[in-house]
Amino acid sequence: MAKLTSYNLKVWLVVTIAAFSWGFGASIFATSSGQPGFYDYFGLDPTSRHTANILSAINACFFGGCALGALAQCYASDWVGRRGAFAISACLTLLGAALVAGSVQIAELFMFRVVQGIGSGMILGLVPLYLTEVAPPKHRGLMAGSTQFAGGCGYIVNSFASIGCYHSTNLSLSWRLPLACACIGPLGLLAGLFFIPESPRYLVWRGKQEKAYDILKLLHHDPKAPSEADAQAEFTQIIRQVELDKEDQATLVVMFQKPSWRRRSISVMILLFMQQAAGTYGITNYFPLLIQSLGMTADLALWLFCVYSVVATLGIGAFILVLDRYGRRLLLLIGFATVPCILLAEALLQWKYQGTTSTGGNGTCVLFIFLFIIFFQAIDAPTFVWMAEVFPTAIRAKGVSLGLFAYFVGTVTFSTPAAVALQSIKWGMFLIYAGLCVVSLIGVYFFLPETKGIPVEEIGALFGDTVAVYLTEDGTNIIEDKSSAYHVELTTVEQKAEEKV
């Protein structure tokens, strides 16, 4: 079986720049809302309901744009390829970030945040899609799961940049500079695209087998192996499975008509929607406001957001490392079981101590918020991996688009009202999130199959699809059936060329 090589790592590093760009861009208003200069410039009262509505609207514009970008991603990546779609998304994100940083009116923030969101939504779909298609099966969870880890690094850099800007004597600079820094990630991605290949599965789907095989040898060939049998075996399996999948029209309508595709589409959409029902963006995007409601200063709130971002990123890193060992399903069950208990405890603590002068009580409230984000990573780490790997190549881009559209609809649904909820129902918000997590736990237990270590061409068997051929355990040959020892002749590029003639 192919192992991780230096070439794999180079590709991974470039693509994680895209995920970093997403994390930085998604988090900038979580810290801008903690900057006094932001409120001073726009003449807003940070304690008023009017300001809470404006902050909610800004976040809704961004995540609404992300939902549109998620849908656009499937058409772009199938039309111009995965690399071309990365370029389009980077340009949109760069344009939106630059215009947001230069906004002089609230209306401009609304408008340009949508543009930035469209590009960011495309990026978030493309990263797990691309990494799933280039990763060796035994390391797919690690590589594709790094989407959220790199996004967390974006949160960290943004939070510390905001701390530095908070102490600037130039109040306008204090909130504009972090917004402008959101341009760095897209620029890095555009430069890095010259160093990564197109997805070999996309190339096979487009009939470019020779180029796909050359890329597979670079991506998956074990330099210590005496032959290229592993790359040739995977190439054969991809060819056979793509030819089989092409018998069905790859349209959004057919995805809900064919039973096996419909089950996958609905499962992914529900999983991604319910991930947001846990309340992560409702808590994270308004973290400084939440901390200040517990009697702490704006400066301390920003420092705690830095720590919060680091803890979240380390947490998801830890869960990603065990994702290929313990599987996607187990981690989801652990996350959806522990998070509601933590949220219930947070609600009770805030009911008891919020608005009081109890340092210990309010400190404990903060502690449980940190526990929440740690155990939420057990949900976050496997979700994007499972979403991208369960679809066949012919509809993978569309499947990821559907999943992320549901993800961002969930984000808008559960995070947009959070700023107002913090002022009105206060601790009751955490009870709502906890109850929805319990519903998610039941759904995962009964309906989500395990996919760890299974080549993406074979996952269809879990949903009732026909699998053309199977890889052997060592990944150097293919067989017609798991119970059979009969080896299928490996396909070469030359044979495919002869078939065309």
Conformational region of residue 355, where left means phi above 0, alpha means psi within -120 to 50, and beta covers everything else: left
Residue 72, pLDDT above cutoff 90:
yes
Overall average pLDDT of the 72-96 stretch: 95
In the prediction, which pLDDT does 35 show?
80
In the chain the first and final C-alpha atoms are separated, in Å, by 33
pLDDT tens, residue by residue, 304-351: 988 999 999 999 999 999 998 999 999 999 999 999 999 999 999 999
Residue 78 C-alpha from the chain's centroid: 19
Overall average pLDDT of the 485-494 stretch: 52
Residue 397, pLDDT above cutoff 50:
yes
Instruction: Express as a percent the part of the chain with pLDDT over 90.
Output: 52
Residue 495, pLDDT above cutoff 80:
no
pTM attached to this predicted model: 0.85
Overall average pLDDT of the 240-265 stretch: 86
- Alpha helix stretches (DSSP H) within 48-104: 49-79, 81-101
Residue 106, pLDDT above cutoff 50:
yes
Cα 172 from Cα 3, distance rounded (Å) = 50
| Residue 482: how many other CB atoms lie within 10 Å | 10
Structural domains of the chain, with CATH: 6-447 (1.20.1250.20)
Residue 26, pLDDT above cutoff 80:
yes
In the prediction, which pLDDT does 247 show?
75
In the prediction, which pLDDT does 440 show?
96
What is the DSSP secondary-structure string of 435-475?
HHHHHHHHHHHHHPPP-TT--TTTGGGGGTPPPS-EE-TTS
In the prediction, which pLDDT does 226 show?
55
Integer CA distances (angstroms), 281 to 34, 100, 139, 418, 489, in order:
16, 20, 28, 9, 50
* Greatest mean pLDDT among 92-96, 130-134, 301-305, 347-351: 92-96
In the prediction, which pLDDT does 412 show?
86
Do 85 and 72 form a contact (C-beta atoms < 8 A)?
no
Residue 2, pLDDT above cutoff 60:
no
Least confident span in 91-95, 127-131, 219-223, 451-455: 219-223
Residue 476, pLDDT above cutoff 70:
no
Residue 445 C-alpha from the chain's centroid: 22
CA-closest candidate to residue 90, choices 203, 247, 196, 176 = 196
In the prediction, which pLDDT does 501 show?
44
In the prediction, which pLDDT does 31 show?
76
In the prediction, which pLDDT does 263 show?
95
CA-closest candidate to residue 205, choices 428, 439, 398, 427 = 398
* Greatest mean pLDDT among 113-117, 130-134, 360-364: 113-117
Least confident span in 89-98, 258-267, 360-369, 464-473: 464-473
Q: Which distant-in-sequence residues (6+ apart) come within 8 Å of 62 by Cβ?
A: 25, 26, 29, 113, 114, 116, 117, 120
- Is the four-CA dihedral 299, 302, 308, 314 of positive or negative sign? negative
Residue 218, pLDDT above cutoff 90:
no
Q: Which distant-in-sequence residues (6+ apart) come within 8 Å of 56 by Cβ?
A: 416, 417, 418, 419, 420
In the prediction, which pLDDT does 120 show?
96
In the prediction, which pLDDT does 486 show?
47
Overall average pLDDT of the 41-54 stretch: 86
**DSSP 8-state class, residue 487:** B
Residue 484, pLDDT above cutoff 60:
no
Cα 390 from Cα 392, distance rounded (Å) = 7
- The better pLDDT of the pair 145, 184 is held by 184
CA-closest candidate to residue 303, choices 284, 325, 288 = 288
In the prediction, which pLDDT does 489 show?
54
Instruction: Express as a percent the part of the chain with pLDDT over 70.
Output: 93
Report the chain's mean pLDDT, rounded to a whole number. Answer: 87
In the prediction, which pLDDT does 135 show?
85
